[in-house]
Structure 1
Amino acid sequence: MTRFITNTGVAIISNRTVRPIIQGVAVAFLAISSVAMVGCSKTIKPDEHKPTKLVQLEQQVNLLEPVFAVTTSAKGNAKDPLSLQVGLNGNQVIVASRDGNVSAYDAQGKNLWQVNVGSEITGGVAVDASHDIAIVSTRDAKIIALDGKTGQVRWQRPTTGTILSPALIHNNRVIVSGNDGLLQGLSLQSGNPVWQFATQVPSISVRGSASPVLLDDSTVLIATADGRLHALNIETGQPLWSRRVGVPSGASEVQRMTDIDGNPVVDNGQLFAISYSGQLVGVDLRSERILFVQDASSLKSLATTNDSVIATTLSGDVKAFNRVTGEPMWENSELRYRQLTNPVLIGNYIAVGDLEGVVHLLSPQTGKIVSRTSTKGALSTLQVQADNLMTQSQSGQVNIWRLSH
């Protein structure tokens, strides 16, 4: 296995073992024009771009009020991309650290329990509050279920590949996506495998993966490294349809990468997905009609508002597109090369984080930055849950903010 680093700072893994694909009802997308990507090779040193310096805001308004902060361990393989998320279990905050510790805190930051799962954590935390269960995945290819109240291990299950994204828990199923292309549906109660679905693994792909997301109450949607979306029945794993989003373009394998590492977004009867190879696609789920295809490249999840879909690009631009026509609405380039997180909608603002731990709030109408808040360490993922903005930095700082009014 060989690792390359692109000029976007993205780790790329070469893996010559390709698993066979289980064919579902395959329906190809329309032919999509793609954007030429920047490649790299073993002998060419990638271009280095300095992060754009932040310009002081004309009228700084403090919009985020801190409500929770703890520091966890950041020990482990710091060079490996890691995107851990915070889990909320009622009034508890459950966090995982890179070195294998999973901890629960009350709203005041008091530690309630802590357990070490014996290996570096690569995927988590997923929480099912109704069953008081938290799911994490480890570098040595294990899925571990913990009791949300005590931290006691309820079950653990070995997998064939490392899980690099949080699981989806729904309808008594734990859905996980491995970096070997194998998707699994496990019993929430026992961890026993219920179904498996194999997807094709490209010879070269970005190290990372999208989390499984709900398409509807009985259907899970999974994005894969070969640029496809797969819809499966959550209970049985029966494939329902497959769509291609990322379209390969270019002469080299690196240029032809089509990874979809950002979670697809399903919102108000529409589906949005974006690929490394440069396609942002909007689909009307009711009519199964493609609404638009726009040029945009990202490895991050998208955000939506009532009238727009927001993306953070590989180069660090924040872009808004009309969610029906795909027409560009605005673009903010003030954060270029700052290795932005996914955008999220919090209240009436769009939030993005960066490599210095700064959270920026933008107007969804204009893209203008209206407020900033800082934490410690580079950010890779933002979450919004129950009106809370949650972050976990690469240095182990966990913060929860609430929008002030």
Structure 2
Amino acid sequence: MSLTRFCPKPGVRRLLAGVLSLAAAGLLAGCGSLFGSSAPKPAPLPTLPAQPVQLQLLWRDDLPSRRSPSQAVLAGDRYVVAGGDGRLAAYALADGRVLWRAHVRQELGASLGSDGLVAAVVTLDNELIVVREDRELWRTRLGSRVVTAPLVAGERVFVLTVDRQVLAFDALNGRALWTQQRAGAGEPLTLLKPGVLRAHRNLLVVGLGPRLVALDSLDGSVRWDLPLAAPRGTNEVERLADLVGPAGREGKVICARAFQSALGCVDADAGRLLWSKSGSGEEGTAVDAEQVYSVDANDRLMAWKRSGGEVRWSSESLLRRQLTAPVVVGRHLLVGDAQGYVHVFDRDSGQPVGRIATDGSAVDSPLSVAPGGTVLLSTRRGGVFALRLPR
């Protein structure tokens, strides 16, 4: 096993849960020289065609926050953003008008989930707080740490903890509805990075370690349980293969990345594994009718054939730029980077065809795509942006 297998991108080593064990910590100790001041520099901005694709800025705002936004979520015709100091705001997609603001007055750890009206956040003190627009509904202390954004759907709030518990609450009054605890919860090493927690029809699809599991949203019972990766190795770090979010979905197909080990797709209706391929990577996936897209550990952007997992193309034009998970917009693929650029690629060839600068700080949230193709994002400085590709 090569050393780079143990040493992920800058900042990701902080995502390995604090242990853990002295042996695991020792394995990571040698990473400093790889990612210190002598770390390889990000690739320069790639050359674009003579007539590049021009992304249009529809609107922007700045969320007043003393700490960078934790994340943002698209909810119907609203884009909801949470600042790290506990401030929340909901924007109208059409014009960026602020629909409501709230402030829970505590620093946030895990990011937010929202259906546009009800929003759920988790604080650094591990409190789950739920608000309805500008009014707090309830709060409760959680027994385990949370780094994955809660999911708000069907008047329920779902929470995934780092020890692989799934909790369901009534969104209006906070009543605990059910808890699902899967095997492997006591493993000494877990990943402090947002995992997979998303809805599919009446199911809750969750990443529990290296497995993608579908739970009945009403009672938490397991509907199917599929392995996307097979952890291997002689130590805890080598065997770490938790699924990382976001998981891409197109129709009944859901595709997800297992940390530094594999990428795979399932038929969520049939509960059947379609394929799984080995490969390093730390970010989530996007999927369309033909291909699956993700970035590897060195920020190589890649596309796989959706039907069988064969590699279709690979682009090294954005190496070491600390990319977000990609999103699909029509015939294009978009990805953000740590310098605040949003890059546009031709999804068939993998060639860079356009880009736009935001505010010079890292794109902090996963890119979101609204119906009609509007792309939304937030940055580390608190910028909130709505972009659109030309029609």
Tell me if TM exceeds 0.5.
yes
Tell me what 2:202 maps to.
218
Quote the Cα distance in structure 2 between the aligned partners of 1:158 and 1:301: 29
Tell me what 1:156 maps to.
139
Deviates more, 1:316-325 or 1:117-126: 117-126
Deviates more, 1:325-334 or 1:245-254: 245-254
Tell me what 1:393 maps to.
379
Q: In 2, are the aligned partners of 1:179 and 1:209 still within 8 Å (CA)?
A: no
Quote the Cα distance in structure 2 between the aligned partners of 1:60 and 1:120: 45
Tell me what 2:106 maps to.
119
Question: Which residue identity is paired with 1:41?
Answer: L
Quote the Cα distance in structure 1 between the aligned partners of 2:272 and 2:120: 36
In the TM superposition, residue 97 of structure 1 has moved relative to its aligned partner by 0.5
Tell me what 2:170 maps to.
187
Structure 1 gaps of 5+ residues are 18-38
Tell me what 1:20 maps to.
none
Question: Which residue identity is paired with 1:213?
Answer: R
Determine if the alignment matches structure 1 residue 330 to structure 2 residue 313: yes
Q: In 2, are the aligned partners of 1:64 and 1:402 still within 8 Å (CA)?
A: yes
Structure 2 gaps of 5+ residues are 1-5
Q: In 2, are the aligned partners of 1:173 and 1:186 still within 8 Å (CA)?
A: yes
TM-score, normalised by the number of residues in structure 2: 0.86
Quote the Cα distance in structure 1 between the aligned partners of 2:293 and 2:64: 32
In the TM superposition, residue 55 of structure 1 has moved relative to its aligned partner by 2.6
In the TM superposition, residue 232 of structure 1 has moved relative to its aligned partner by 0.8
In the TM superposition, residue 51 of structure 1 has moved relative to its aligned partner by 1.0
Q: In 2, are the aligned partners of 1:89 and 1:127 still within 8 Å (CA)?
A: no
Root mean square deviation of aligned Cα: 2.5
Q: Pick from 347, 351, 354: which aligns with 1:368?
A: 351
1:7/1:289 CA distance change after superposition, 3 Å: closer
In the TM superposition, residue 285 of structure 1 has moved relative to its aligned partner by 4.4
Quote the Cα distance in structure 2 between the aligned partners of 1:230 and 1:73: 38
Q: In 2, are the aligned partners of 1:60 and 1:372 still within 8 Å (CA)?
A: no
In the TM superposition, residue 195 of structure 1 has moved relative to its aligned partner by 0.4
Determine if the alignment matches structure 1 residue 6 to structure 2 residue 7: yes
Quote the Cα distance in structure 1 between the aligned partners of 2:144 and 2:214: 21
Q: Pick from 216, 223, 226: which aligns with 1:240?
A: 223
In the TM superposition, residue 284 of structure 1 has moved relative to its aligned partner by 3.6
Determine if the alignment matches structure 1 residue 99 to structure 2 residue 100: no
What aligned pairs does 1:373-388 form with structure 2 within 5 A after superposition?
373-376=356-359, 377-380=361-364, 381-386=366-371, 387-388=373-374
TM-score, normalised by the number of residues in structure 1: 0.83
Q: What's the CA shift string for 1:70-115, capped at 9, x where partnerless?
A: 1124534x7xxx750144464x543210111112445554555433
1:275/1:201 CA distance change after superposition, 3 Å: farther
Determine if the alignment matches structure 1 residue 260 to structure 2 residue 270: no
Determine if the alignment matches structure 1 residue 174 to structure 2 residue 152: no
Quote the Cα distance in structure 2 between the aligned partners of 1:262 and 1:93: 19
1:53/1:141 CA distance change after superposition, 3 Å: same
Question: Which residue identity is paired with 2:63?
Answer: T
1:68/1:301 CA distance change after superposition, 3 Å: same
Deviates more, 1:42-51 or 1:132-141: 42-51
In the TM superposition, residue 193 of structure 1 has moved relative to its aligned partner by 0.9
Tell me what 1:209 maps to.
194
In the TM superposition, residue 293 of structure 1 has moved relative to its aligned partner by 2.3
Quote the Cα distance in structure 1 between the aligned partners of 2:98 and 2:268: 44
Q: What's the CA shift string for 1:281-314, capped at 9, x where partnerless?
A: 2234455544322222223221112211111112
Quote the Cα distance in structure 1 between the aligned partners of 2:70 and 2:105: 19
Q: In 2, are the aligned partners of 1:7 and 1:46 still within 8 Å (CA)?
A: no
Higher helix share: 2
1:240/1:340 CA distance change after superposition, 3 Å: same
Determine if the alignment matches structure 1 residue 55 to structure 2 residue 59: no
Quote the Cα distance in structure 1 between the aligned partners of 2:99 and 2:266: 44
Tell me what 2:3 maps to.
none
Quote the Cα distance in structure 2 between the aligned partners of 1:71 and 1:354: 19
Tell me what 1:29 maps to.
none
In the TM superposition, residue 280 of structure 1 has moved relative to its aligned partner by 1.4
Q: In 1, are the aligned partners of 2:274 and 2:308 still within 8 Å (CA)?
A: yes
Quote the Cα distance in structure 1 between the aligned partners of 2:307 and 2:187: 32
Residue identity over aligned pairs, in percent, reads 24
Q: In 2, are the aligned partners of 1:86 and 1:392 still within 8 Å (CA)?
A: no
What aligned pairs does 1:123-138 form with structure 2 within 5 A after superposition?
123-129=110-116, 132-138=117-123
Deviates more, 1:349-358 or 1:116-125: 116-125
